[in-house]
Amino acid sequence: MGLQDADANDAGFGARIRSALFWRSGSQILSQVMSWGVTLAVIRLLDPADYGLFAMTQVILNFATFLNGYGLVSALVQSDTVEPHRLRQAFGIMLLLNGALALCQLAIAPIAADYYDQPMVADLLRVQALLYLSTPFISVPEAIMGRALDFKRPALVNLIAAAASAAVALTGALSGWGVWTLVWAPIAGFWVKGAGYVLVTGFRPIPSFDFRGTGAMVGYGASLLGGQLFWIVQSQADIFIGGRVLEPHQLGLYAEALFLTQIFVSKFVPPLNDVAFPAYARMQKDLSRVAWSFCKAVKLLLLLTCPIYLGMAVTAEPLVETLFGAKWLEMAPFVAVLALAMPFMTVQVMFAPVSNALGRPGTTARIAAVGAVLMPAAFLIGIQAGAIGLAWAWLAAFPILTLVTARLAGGPMGLRLADLAAAAAPGLGCSVLMAGVVMAIDALLPPLAAPIRLGILVPAGGVAFLGALLLCARGTLKELIGLVLRRAPPAPAPA
| pLDDT tens, residue by residue, 212-227 | 765 665 666 665 566 5
Residue 491 has what pLDDT? Answer: 45
Contact 405, 348 (CB under 8 A): yes
Residue 69 has what pLDDT? Answer: 67
User: Length of the chain, please?
Assistant: 495
- Judged against a pLDDT cut of 80, whether residue 352 lies above it is answered with no
Instruction: For residues 459 and 74, give the distance between their C-alpha atoms in angstroms, rounded to a whole number.
Output: 42
Per-residue confidence band for 7, with pLDDT thresholds at 50, 70 and 90: very low
The mean-pLDDT minimum among 6-15, 41-50, 312-321, 438-447 falls in 6-15
Residues 6+ positions from 295 with CB-CB distance below 8 Å: 415, 419, 420, 422, 423
Residues 6+ positions from 468 with CB-CB distance below 8 Å: 429, 430, 431, 433, 434
Residue 229 has what pLDDT? Answer: 78
* Alpha-carbon dihedral sign for residues 40, 42, 45, 50: negative
Instruction: For residues 89 and 108, give the distance between their C-alpha atoms in angstroms, rounded to a whole number.
Output: 29
R_g (Cα) of the chain, nearest Å: 23
Instruction: For residues 267 and 260, give the distance between their C-alpha atoms in angstroms, rounded to a whole number.
Output: 11
Q: What is the mean pLDDT of residues 156-181?
A: 92
The mean-pLDDT minimum among 244-253, 262-271, 428-437 falls in 262-271
- Cα–Cα–Cα angle for 256, 259, 262, rounded to 5 degrees: 150
Contact 273, 298 (CB under 8 A): no
List, in sequence order, the alpha helices (H) in 202-331.
Answer: 215-245, 248-261, 263-267, 269-283, 287-314, 316-324
Per-residue confidence band for 490, with pLDDT thresholds at 50, 70 and 90: very low
pTM across the whole model = 0.76
Residues 6+ positions from 318 with CB-CB distance below 8 Å: 450, 451, 453, 454, 457
Per-residue confidence band for 102, with pLDDT thresholds at 50, 70 and 90: very high
- Judged against a pLDDT cut of 70, whether residue 21 lies above it is answered with no
Residues 6+ positions from 47 with CB-CB distance below 8 Å: 178, 249, 252, 327
- Judged against a pLDDT cut of 70, whether residue 494 lies above it is answered with no
| pLDDT tens, residue by residue, 414-464 | 788 888 899 899 989 999 999 999 999 999 999 999 999 999 999 999 999
Q: Specify which of 30-44, 93-107, 143-157 reaches the highest per-range mean pLDDT.
A: 93-107
Residue 55 has what pLDDT? Answer: 94
Residue 494 is classified by DSSP as P
Q: What is the mean pLDDT of residues 23-49?
A: 77
How many alpha carbons lie under 13 Å from residue 147 in its C-beta half-sphere? Answer: 18
- Judged against a pLDDT cut of 50, whether residue 489 lies above it is answered with no
Nearest to 392 by CA among 270, 242, 267: 242
| pLDDT tens, residue by residue, 122-166 | 999 999 999 999 999 988 888 777 665 656 667 788 888 989 999
- Judged against a pLDDT cut of 50, whether residue 355 lies above it is answered with yes
Instruction: For residues 412 and 363, give the distance between their C-alpha atoms in angstroms, rounded to a whole number.
Output: 9
- Judged against a pLDDT cut of 90, whether residue 276 lies above it is answered with no
- Which has more confidence, 490 or 330? 330
- Judged against a pLDDT cut of 60, whether residue 186 lies above it is answered with yes
> Phi/psi of residue 47, each to 5°?
-105, 155
* Alpha-carbon dihedral sign for residues 76, 270, 343, 333: negative
> Phi/psi of residue 202, each to 5°?
75, 10
Per-residue confidence band for 86, with pLDDT thresholds at 50, 70 and 90: confident
Buried b (16+ CB within 10 A) or exposed e, 249-258: ebbbbbbbbb
Q: What is the mean pLDDT of residues 363-389?
A: 92
Average pLDDT over the chain, rounded to an integer: 82
- Which has more confidence, 488 or 338? 338
